[in-house]
Amino acid sequence: MTWSDELASFLPRFFRGFVITGRLPFKPKVTTLYPEVKRPKPERFHGRHVLNRYEDGMEKCIGCELCAGVCPARCIYVRGADNPPDAPVSPGERYGFVYEINFLRCIHCDMCVEACPTEAITESKLFEWSFVNREDAIYTKAELLVDDEGRPQELPWEDWKPGDERNTSAWLRATSPSGSAASEGQPLWSGELGHGVRPAQQGQSASDAADFPAEFDLSLREMVSGALRGIGVDGSRPSRGRPPASGTEGHNGPEGQP
């Protein structure tokens, strides 16, 4: 290849790069303006804990300390006490007298949620909180407990938007239900005061649920592929709804499934 050929093949490519980037400022932006606009969170998101109650206002926690025992970060401190016979706090024999979680230690592994026999402790979708001292980092029982409508309490150093406090129920298995046929199609969420139990997610081995992404995943993928298409890159297009039963046409085709 001579130098003139080299130059002749280099220059068009060189300037094409500028054309590609030069068109980008006129495309819709991919940035999410975060505090104003919030993306949907993953369905199994692990946020800060809440202590749940029954419909009649009774606390679910029975002070069994299983959560404290299973906690790998040793951030939970529980002390149970006998229920006073005239004014019981929980339906059982005992109740959680002291319940504290140190959020400077908590790794949000959700093992306390799995361990809990009464679905008392679950993780909400809340994560926008910035405490500035250690006192605030240790959430006491009074701060963790939901109110009569099942809403978590908004503490002074937490910043929510309406709707953030919903879906406080927790996924009860860290592992996927595809491993056990018995748990497929079973709602594996704990109940949520005021909202009931959310519908079950499909197991991975269900034939019509293969590659059935969560709402969050879908919206993210749609946004990214939309942005890529906007700048002229023909990426994969996510399929909303069920994929074709025996389709050999992949979802990666230029005219994928709607």
Partner 1 sequence: MGDPLFANGLNLAVWLILILKAVVVFVLVLVSVVFMVMYERKAVAQLGVRYGPNRAGPNGWFQSVADGTKLLFKEAFTPRGADKVVYKIAPYLMLVPALLAFSIVPIGGTVTIAHHTTDLQLANPPWGILFLLMCSGVSVYGVMLAGWASGSKYPLLGSVRASAQLVSYEAVLGLTTVTVVVVSGSLRTSVIVAAQHGGFLYHWNVIRTALIPFAVFSIAMTAEMARPPFDLVEAEEELSGGYNLEYSSTDFMWFYLAEYAALVTNSAIIVTLWFGGPDGPRIAGHSIGPVWWLIKLLIILYIYVWIRATLPRLRYDQLMDLGWKRLIPLSLALLMIIAGFQVDREWGIVAIGASLLLGAVLWRAIDVGRQATSVEAARHERVAEEAGQ
Q: Judged by CB under 8 A, which of 18, 56, 84, 208 binds partner 1? A: 18
Give the whole-angstrom CA distance, residue 99 versus residue 116.
13
Q: Interface with partner 1 includes 38 (CB under 8 A)? A: no
Q: Is residue 169 within 8 Å of 195, Cβ to Cβ?
A: yes
Q: Which is nearer to partner 1, 27 or 79 (CB)?
A: 27
d(CA 49, CA 113): 9
Kindly give, in sequence order, each residue whose CB lies less than 8 Å from that of residue 165, ignoring residues fewer than 6 positions away: 124, 125, 126, 151, 152, 154
* 21 lies in the site for partner 1, by CB under 8 A: yes
Give the containing element (helix H, strand E) for 51.
Answer: strand 49-51
**Among the residue ranges 44-52, 120-128, 223-231, 234-242, the one whose residues contact partner 1 (CB under 8 A):** 223-231
CB of 29 or CB of 242, closer to partner 1: 29
- How far CA 52 is from CA of 49, 95, 166, 214, 246, in Å, comes to 9, 13, 13, 25, 44
Nearer Cβ to partner 1 (10/179): 10
| Identified binder of partner 1 from the candidate list 70, 231, 236, 251, rule CB under 8 A | 231
Number of residues that bind partner 1 (CB under 8 A): 17
**Which of 10/157 has CB closer to partner 1?**
10
Q: List interacting residues with partner 1 (CB under 8 A).
A: 3, 17-18, 20-22, 24-25, 27-31, 33, 227, 230-231
